[in-house]
Amino acid sequence: MSTAPEVSPSGFTVGAELAGTRGRTGEIHTPHGDIATPAFIPVGTKATVKTVLPEAVAELGAQAVLANAYHLYLQPGPEIVDAAGGLGAFMNWPGPTYTDSGGFQVMSLGVGFKKVISMTAGDPTLTPDDDSIAPGKERLARVDDDGVTFKSHLDGSTHRFTPEVSMQIQHQLGADIIFAFDELTTLMNTRSYQENSLERTRLWAIRCLAEHNRLNAARSHRPPQALWGVVQGAQYEDLRRKAARDLAELSKRDTDSGGRGFGGYGIGGALEKQNLGQIVGWVNDELPLDAPKHLLGISEPDDIFTAIEAGIDTFDCVSPSRVARNGAIYSFDGRYNVTNRRFRDDFGPLDPELHNYTSNYSRAYIHHLFKAKEGLAATLCTIHNEHFIVTLVDRARRAIIDGTYREYRDGFLARYYAGTGGPTGQVG
């Protein structure tokens, strides 16, 4: 006799498993609908996926969007979003929403480095610890054990984030899934700084849980929100495992004492590309199997497949929309740049095998739009790129269910990276 899948306390139902890996399908349950996983979550930094209507984001198949607490705190302010009824109502998005904690942006200002999910260790002589910053950069933020004081990149005004402030902002923003305030580190931080930072993030997580539970009770007029912990630890196995164990224990302790605990977990910070799957595997060894896992800042196809097999359920990244605004196009035959001269008289669609609104427009026309500096170029390319990555992950999910995942993965990657020399290359 078959039994219905069990729904975990985190609001997550585990579905089909990918044999021989940690990969699986599932459903994340939120007040604004379910998210079938694995899923790619487009980033709408300032309550918009840049240049694209929310209706177009829904039409391309996105199930949820992620907005940025730091940017929305500075403009228009969380009280405005709260008065509008929350992030979804404010941006006319009816589905599930995420917000990050603001820590990523605050910390990137703090050392003057452009912090992305670093795929290389970079210059080992640079150690952007508490008293050092990138050469030639102004320090706009300072970290202490209580929180972070920073200057706005908009007007230079001074602000302070603590775990409590981050929770208050994110509750006002009203996303279904929010993240604990953490300290982002890079591969260039020293081992001793990573250790100190990890303990700071653990203590901040305790404070985030306490404030989150207080706000959920105080704001019962709003839908309940799920708080996800964030695992740091850079490239160190012992630190990644410790961070994951600590967060899982904090969640259990909070739940046992009547709180809600963490509804899921984000894996953040610096990740070496060649060790991505291994690092995610270390973390998932220590975290509850029935909790959803989110990988912050990943969207390259080879990394997506690696992460799915390591047990990641959702992803977000600004890259599909960011590169689109410069004319870089994802296609099943690899990435290319539509601004290249060879597309000047190419009247085919951006990708003949991916059908969406942009299929009505030729490469030649979009090439012209870029050369003429028309904004429609960015809109069309963003719709296409977001649809491409959303579709890639959707097809992976269906392939896990029907037992054809490995054939799908191998066929996709062989074609996508053909002629590039491997996953680090690009076409055209």
What are the residue numbers of the active site?
Answer: 100, 316
Structure tokens at 324: 């689109």
**Nearest Cα residue to 296 out of 54, 108, 32, 121:** 108
Contact predicate 378/50, CB 8 Å: yes
Give the number of other Cβ atoms within 10 Å of residue 187's Cβ. 18
CA atoms of 217 and 104, how far apart (whole Å): 27
CA 86 to chain centre: 20
Eight-state DSSP code of residue 152? -
Is the N-terminal amide bond of 301 cis, ω within 30° of 0? Answer: no
CA atoms of 222 and 206, how far apart (whole Å): 23
CA 262 to chain centre: 17
| Residue 143, SS3 per DSSP | strand
- CA geometry: angle 300, 303, 304, nearest 5 deg: 85
